[in-house]
Structure 1
Amino acid sequence: MPTPFPPYDPNGLDESDHDEGRGPRLREIPFRMLIPNLITVLAICAGMTGIRLAFENHIQLAVAMVLIAAFLDGVDGRVARLLKAQSKFGAQMDSLADIINFGVAPALVLYVFILDQARSFGWIAAIVFAVAAGLRLARFNVISENTTRSAWQSYYFVGVPAPAGALLVLLPVYLGIMGVPIDRTTGFAASAYTVFIGFLLVSRVPVFSGKGISGGVRRDLVMPFILVAVVYVSLLMSFTWETLTVTALAYLASLPFGARAWSLKYGPKSRQNNGNNPAGATEPTSSTDPKDDAEK
């Protein structure tokens, strides 16, 4: 007798094959296919735990959980590519997890910490950010399904990516932990800032992604690069909130420069100067990996 709940294959394969007299034949899934999904589940657990810690007034731990969720989100796709364990199921699960980790969790942590000072305006700001994160991720899913992209999309994001948005929107929390007073005035200011970050997520602002320099590091710059990374991690561990504040402000300050660089190289004037090779020409998508989360 066929089971009313056939097993779901993450790769979208049909498991309707039957062995005569033995019922449905269940195909085994290699354990390596499960590892990226387990990492995604851990990221969801971290985001949800961050929400609980915020309601229990453990704000520092709540922010740490959100940042850990962001780290795990960056790891799962790379692990999937390393193990050759990409799947459509994993890609969809990753996107749904990101709505929690980069939309709902930061919004609720913000509301518990400071936005509640603005009452309904603070709650509206939290909703706007969470919805904006969902829209940003939905747009990413649509873009990732296209077989062709504009040439400049190999070097720029369309709007601020969701993980960076989560880092930016928590700036009022960093400042509050450092001693900035939490009152009605700062609550309204934080609400306006939260809405602003939400609009950056869904905007069409070109944001430099750094993918153009991901090919490698010059041999003479390897040691300085490692030293800078060590210094940053050391500062992050010793002066966590100050380092996160500077990082968020530096990212915001870089946005106009990235947009200007895009305009000079790929904007309308550039197209006029390069009529034979328009910058807006499309090219085949370089990666067909459904878990390629570089533009989320």
Structure 2
Amino acid sequence: MNEKKAERAENIKKGIYILPNLFTTGSMFAGFYSMVASLNGNFDVAALWIFASAVFDGLDGKVARLTGTTSKFGVEYDSLADLVSFGVTPGLMMYAWALKPFGRLGWLAAFLFVVCGALRLARFNVQVNTVESKRFVGLPIPAAASMVAATVLLFHHFGWPSTYKRLAILVLIYLLAFLMVSGFRYYSFKDPALIKRQPFGFLLLAVVLLIVVAAEPAAMTFGIMLAYVVSGPLGFVVGWPRRRRLEKAVHKGHGAAAGR
């Protein structure tokens, strides 16, 4: 135990990798500025900065892997930054934007989102070496925060009444909190095949998607995030018959082996 502590201390003394941790710092800066915007009542700006934070968060890991600069320090720093940017920041934004009239129930609901995000990050750190890299177990906290930001932008764009806003965000908080700590699996977009050669039709589809998003960014961003959020439960329902067949086959196999 003492040798491991000494090794960690020695690694920190040798220095840390600057480039990936700068992206992580950029993610936390964007999250913090989003909180500042929320306190000033600029919720549409706050939502945009959450998306900016998500972009930085997506880049830090990729930069670390491409440059061979992954480290235990970077992993821990990234988790702390994620809790600030995608847990505390959207929780504060939701409370100030829609939940404040509910009083204690409002800030408790926002806290539920934060604590479930923290639990999701802790579980990810524990399971990072034991689960499939192409799938996340539970809704990733950046996706949950981005869903909240997309909802804010949608309501701001269409100018819907405050009553609908409060009801929608209350339901959304409980849904996202549950999905973050659930066992539903979500695609991680870490498949190396994504950056390899693809059919021409994929490029055409990507261009069309960009045009549609540019034409109606608020609605399309909300639609894309909603599709990702429901993909976990939908995949579970669609794959249920196959899992049942596999379970029955395993039980039959065990029964046959026991009969021998």
* Match for residue 12 of structure 1 among 8, 14, 21: 8
Amino acid at match of 2:10: D
Spell out the pairing of 1:7-156 with structure 2 (5 A cutoff). Answer: 12=8, 14=10, 27=14, 29=15, 33-144=17-128, 146=129, 148-149=130-131, 153-156=132-135
Q: 1:117, 1:183 within 8 Å by CA — same for their partners in 2?
A: no
Change (3 A) 1:67 1:79: same
- C-alpha distance in structure 2 between counterparts of 1:214 and 1:173, whole Å: 33
Deviation at 1:36, TM superposition (A): 0.2
Spell out the pairing of 1:165-180 with structure 2 (5 A cutoff). Answer: 165-180=144-159
Task: Say which structure is richer in helix.
Answer: 2
Q: 1:159, 1:206 within 8 Å by CA — same for their partners in 2?
A: yes
- C-alpha distance in structure 1 between counterparts of 2:32 and 2:247, whole Å: 47
- C-alpha distance in structure 1 between counterparts of 2:158 and 2:106, whole Å: 20
Deviation at 1:53, TM superposition (A): 1.0
Give per-residue Cα distances to partners, 1:58-81, cap 9 Å, x unaligned: 222211110010111110011001
- C-alpha distance in structure 2 between counterparts of 1:73 and 1:107, whole Å: 18
Question: Is it true that 1:226 corresponds to 2:226 in the alignment?
Answer: no
Give per-residue Cα distances to partners, 1:113-161, cap 9 Å, x unaligned: 22223333221111110111111000001112x4x44xxx354321111
Deviation at 1:171, TM superposition (A): 4.5
Unmatched segments (≥5 aa) in structure 1: 1-10, 17-25, 279-296
Give per-residue Cα distances to partners, 1:265-293, cap 9 Å, x unaligned: 4x353133257999xxxxxxxxxxxxxxx
* Residue in 1 that maps onto 2:217: 240
Q: TM-score, normalised by structure 1?
A: 0.73
Moved beyond 6 Å, runs of 4+: 275-278
Unmatched segments (≥5 aa) in structure 2: 1-6, 255-260
* Residue in 1 that maps onto 2:178: 199
Deviation at 1:263, TM superposition (A): 3.0
* Match for residue 254 of structure 1 among 218, 225, 231: 231
- C-alpha distance in structure 2 between counterparts of 1:258 and 1:79, whole Å: 30
CA RMSD of aligned residues (A): 3.0
Amino acid at match of 2:209: Y
* Residue in 1 that maps onto 2:193: 215
